[in-house]
Structure 1
Amino acid sequence: MSAAADQHIDVRTITEAEYTDWLKAVHAGFLRPPVVSAEDAAGRLAHTDVSRVRGAFEGGRCVATFRSFAQELTAPGGAALAVSAVTGVTVTATHRRRGLLTRMMTAELSAAKERGEVASTLVAAEYPIYGRYGYGPAAGFAEWEIDTGRTGLDPRWARPDDGARIDLVDPAEAGKVGAEVFERFRAAQPGAVSRDRRWWDLATGAAHRDGWTEPFFAVYRTADGEAAGLAAYTADETWSDAKLPENTAKVRQLIATDPRAERALWHYLCSIDWIRRVRTGYRAPDALLPLYLPNPRAARIITQSDFLWLRLLDVAAALETRTYAAEGELVLEVHDAAGLASGRFLLAAAATGARCTPTTRSAELSLDVGELGTLYLGDESAVRLLALGRVVEGREGAAARMDALFRTDRRPWCPDMF
């Protein structure tokens, strides 16, 4: 059935009265039991901007869902980019291939641009979907499993040797300290996104969440008492037939403002009695973690994938927000099928900042807006995309020049699912 034949399906912003049914549709779309308690719905609604929640309705039934919320994304150099974070995207199995996602996405991207949001972000459950709407994979992750017995760490290790300390704290303190540490962390981590108070309430149990289990919270404090790192983790209880502990610690989050704090927290986790394995959770793909261990082979990658996807809406504002590794000029021709970010732009990068303005000069590099999103945070190479035929040079060497400008000292990483 064609999308045109389904125009009778009403795609629109929902009302507060429809929120519970919308949430049930979200659960169904993600193959979860479509059961929502009144308490859960009320708690979520209190922190939801309904004007940014869309649904597709047929005969009064919600058959597709879509939500966005305002967020900040850290650009290379530490400046914050105002973005629209997209989440809760589903289409009921009975209504796929009818153009419902396209209608919801088209409405959202236009609204985001009107709101002045420079870009849109999302975490893609499936790779092939979002390139159609101008998104590109911009930051990935890796997950390690550490065999604690092979790390080479002294099992008598108990605390840092520089006057610092690690303390287990209760959820209330973890929420306060963690929020402070995270703000310093995200200012230095390209790809990190902002966390509001609700995020911390959910992460520490201050807000109700079905199925939540309280983790352990470990805080690293420097010799002068300043908090510089936080780890949240759970542990199972598994014993071998020989009555030996075979427990696994699973890290929910670990953030630190400097390598010394991060090293201490990983050493702590690998030194807990009865813990035989540590699952790190999603980490930066170039994390220093394996090299924190005397035997880096004790940590093996078990998962590696794309994660954060980025869709630029205002090319000039986005390119002026980030910093560059060198000085120079580059003329970019950006193609956008939706017409939201198309244009030819002169990027002039200097030590004092960057300027990006429309130009009539000949394009040196032509690319789709999705490819620009992939390159924006510095995690991909224009030379590689040129080899794949995904960018086109109007002047030889332009791709290499773009790489020289966009290079970053550290790969981008987004620690948060949304």
Structure 2
Amino acid sequence: MAKSFFGTDGVRGPVGSEPITPKTIVHLGWALGSVIKKHYGKGSVLVGKDTRVSGYLLESAMEAGLSSAGMDVVMLGPLPTPAIAYLTQTARANAGVVISASHNPYSDNGIKFFSANGSKISDQIQTEIEQLMDVPIEVVASEDLGKAFRMDDAVGRYVEFCKGTIPRRMNFRGLKVALDCANGAAYQSAPAVFHELGAEIEVINNKPNGYNINEQCGSTHIAGLQKLVLDAECDIGIAFDGDADRVMMVDRQGNVVDGDQLLFVLADSLHKQGRLKGGVVGTQMSNFGMQKALESRGIPFVRAKVGDRYVMQELHTRDWALGGESSGHIICLDKTTTGDGLVSALQVVTQMTFMQKPLHELASQMQMYPQTMINVRLKPGSSAADVLARAEVQASVNEKEAQLQGRGRILLRASGTEPLIRVMVEGDDEAEVASCCQHIAAVVEKQV
């Protein structure tokens, strides 16, 4: 099976088509269980999910596959992706599985794997799993089959962990917080955390029905949260995506504060306190304004390829603690092992409390450069690499780079989670940036 069976953060695809089908998930569970048992012996694997209706089907299939390999299974139910990473460590499990398609529509689903230490599985383990996907399932003897259990207090354990990532004596009394849970995995934990920390909360999109996850809500559709913040006169608004590993915010004036700005707020505040470990890792999509603002403060900044796996690799290589993406996937390695929307939100509110300044004032210290991105959808059978390599596309990029004359930058890349080519242009002139992006996107779309 091709290496591309795994995306940058798991197996993805619509239910009912390759690679995500119940049959595939049973096989995948068996392959994971077999590899984990070979390396670490018989033990347990935690399985969590978001709120998609297909999660009921796929968690049963995953349980069957793991059991057939002789691994015990602990079912967690709906829970944020980073919560599964955390609980995999604390429950001393051999691995963790998340059934989620993140910010995608309810009709999509996918799989993410975590190792025993709460990080993404290694390339070696991933390769061995892929190899077993081409091998017929061999069910262990009846006496060796795995058993299934349920962790009834999973949400409570995660809530306590999140609260523990801020100073023990700190509370958010006097703060009015609006929460948009995207009808997703944070619908229980996010309100509980902020309520228990003393904040007055206003909550929307916390009633999942299996079909409304990410539907005109959450971090990818933030207008509803902006309205709530203004109407309810909140101090801050916080929006998560479907599996709650991303966060976007709204300040009290109703302005959206994206992942780059949140990353800057954290880095700038921690740097002023002398508590920033090393520098900051962004991505190829990070706003040029963040780079300039960090550099002006003497804070080192590097760009990784798009994807939390690559940000994480760069952080580990440099022994830094803070990195993230414009989409709101922020990694605080001094607090947890993976990107966590709720933990990241708590760190930002902590800095607001510590600095005694509202979010808009902290974020205004960074000047955002105008940035336009257009997604061009690939047709079935189209190759993003082939389209991007075509002479017409390269010529359009060269033409617009010459026009910008070093006052901006252009980036074309394939999405890691959807059949899209993302065209991004950034520069100091908003109208010029939009025009350049539209021109290049039109060329790409013609080639598609």
Shorter-chain TM-score above 0.5: no
The two structures have a TM-score, normalised by structure 1, of 0.31
Greater RCO, 1 or 2 (C-alpha within 8 Å, sep 6+): 1
Structure with bigger strand share is: 1
The two structures have a TM-score, normalised by structure 2, of 0.30
Higher alpha-carbon Rg: 1
